[in-house]
């Protein structure tokens, strides 16, 4: 199986970046990833202010996918996530919603053993591996890997885990896929500003989906399809996600807008992916009991 080394990474999604490798559809391959600080912090005496702050959220890629063209939709199946044996969590002034209460920067290294994360000698919790950044190049411009958006990116959505599929709209030939920012665990919201940040390996398979393009990323889990909407605040992100979810329900169940809107309200949850990145990310879950297959979409 092809292994893409973590030494090849980008810190922005941009069609000008040269692909580092070409891969085929339907063939599993492995992507190695750095942690969100580009593996610069390995010990607790290394502080945030001592590292190169330009190397944030490095994402391995760009990966050119053969037979994929602008206007296509791809699915990325997350087949397996393998974590390194230690991760890190930082706190420093200004980080996250309570960053004003932090006076000193602190680095915490957390060991992983037998699928548990050891927070300290008394407290441990199970790993729940996920992918923070996964995306393709936008049609134009340069989007730092710190940003989530319609191209994917830093969605920090905990359902992007083993067994899930991420559907992305492709804007340039080959897609120019990149992936990074694994978390050993993270709750909805990413409340302190980071998950358990960690490097690792992700086994992925890319397929092409027979559909019209999609307006924003969609994540498929065992039970639902999540519409991933990122925007400047809750009002903007929720409007965007609710509108798209209602349009999907309208098309798939052959309803008028008002009926789709009511059915959405009765059956779908809106949840928070993250509140700490430059744009906020929400997810709206369409249960598979309502819509078994979301593709093809014609809207
Ligand atoms: Ca992230
Ligand atoms: Zn992260």
Ligand nearest to the Cα of 35, by number: 2
Ligand nearest to the CA of 157: 1
Nearest in space to 128 (alpha carbons), one of 145, 142, 113, 115: 115
CA distance 126 to 213: 37
Centre of ligand 1 to C-alpha 143, Å, is 14
Using the mean position of ligand 1's atoms as its centre, give its distance from the Cα of residue 132 in Å.
Answer: 5
Write the CB contacts of 29 (distance below 8 Å, at least 6 apart in sequence).
1, 2, 3, 4, 23, 203, 204, 205
Relative to the alpha carbon of 183, which ligand is closest?
Answer: 2
> Residue 287 is encoded by which pair of tokens?
């249960």
How is residue 70 written in tokens?
Answer: 């602008």
**Distance between Cα 197 and ligand 2 center (Å):** 5
Ligand nearest to the CA of 34: 2
Task: Please tell me the distance between residue 28's alpha carbon and the centre of ligand 1 in angstroms.
Answer: 24
Q: List residues bridging with 83 in a β-sheet.
A: 200
Residue 73: its pLDDT value, please? Answer: 98
Rounded Cα distance between 293 and 27, Å, is 23
Question: What spatial distance separates the first Cα and last Cα of the chain, rounded to whole Å?
Answer: 37
Ligand minimally distant from the alpha carbon of residue 194: 2
> Which residue, among 66, 67, 84, 86, has the nearest Cα to 19 in the 3D structure?
66
Give the pLDDT confidence score for residue 36 in this predicted structure. 98
CA of 257 relative to ligand 2 center, distance in Å: 38
Q: What is the pLDDT of residue 118?
A: 98
Local confidence pLDDT in tens for the 299 residues of the chain: 999 999 999 999 999 999 999 999 999 999 999 999 999 999 999 999 999 999 999 999 999 999 999 999 999 999 999 999 999 999 999 999 999 999 999 999 999 999 999 999 999 999 999 999 999 999 999 999 999 999 999 999 999 999 999 999 999 999 999 999 999 999 999 999 999 999 999 999 999 999 999 999 999 999 999 999 999 999 999 999 999 999 999 999 999 999 999 999 999 999 999 999 999 999 999 999 999 999 999 98
């Amino acid at each position: 199986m092809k292994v893409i080394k973590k030494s090849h990474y980008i810190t922005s999604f941009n069609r000008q970046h040269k692909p580092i490798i070409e891969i085929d559809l339907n063939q599993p391959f492995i992507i190695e990833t750095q942690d969100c600080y580009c593996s610069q912090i390995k010990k607790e005496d290394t502080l945030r202010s001592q590292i190169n702050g330009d190397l944030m959220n490095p994402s391995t890629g760009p990966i050119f996918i053969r037979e994929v063209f602008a206007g296509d939709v791809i699915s990325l199946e997350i087949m397996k996530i393998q974590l390194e044996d230690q991760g890190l969590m930082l706190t420093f002034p200004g980080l996250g919603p309570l960053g004003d209460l932090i006076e000193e920067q602190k680095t915490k290294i957390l060991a992983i053993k037998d699928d548990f994360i050891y927070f300290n000698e008394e407290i441990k919790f199970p790993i729940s591996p996920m992918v923070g950044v996964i995306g393709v190049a936008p049609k134009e411009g340069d989007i730092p890997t710190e940003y989530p958006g319609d191209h994917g990116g830093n969605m920090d959505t905990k359902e992007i885990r083993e067994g899930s599929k991420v559907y992305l709209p492709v804007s340039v030939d080959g897609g120019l896929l990149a992936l990074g920012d694994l978390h050993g665990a993270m709750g909805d919201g990413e409340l302190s500003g980071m998950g358990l940040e960690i490097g690792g390996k992700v086994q992925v398979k890319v397929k092409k989906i027979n559909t019209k393009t999609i307006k924003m990323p969609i994540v498929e889990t065992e039970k639902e399809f999540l519409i991933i909407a990122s925007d400047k605040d809750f009002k903007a992100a929720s409007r965007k996600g609710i509108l798209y979810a209602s349009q999907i329900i309208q098309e798939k169940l052959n309803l008028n807008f008002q009926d789709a809107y009511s059915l959405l309200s009765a059956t779908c949850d809106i949840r928070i992916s993250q509140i700490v990145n430059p744009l906020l990310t929400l997810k709206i879950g369409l249960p598979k009991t309502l819509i078994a297959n979301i593709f093809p979409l014609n809207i």
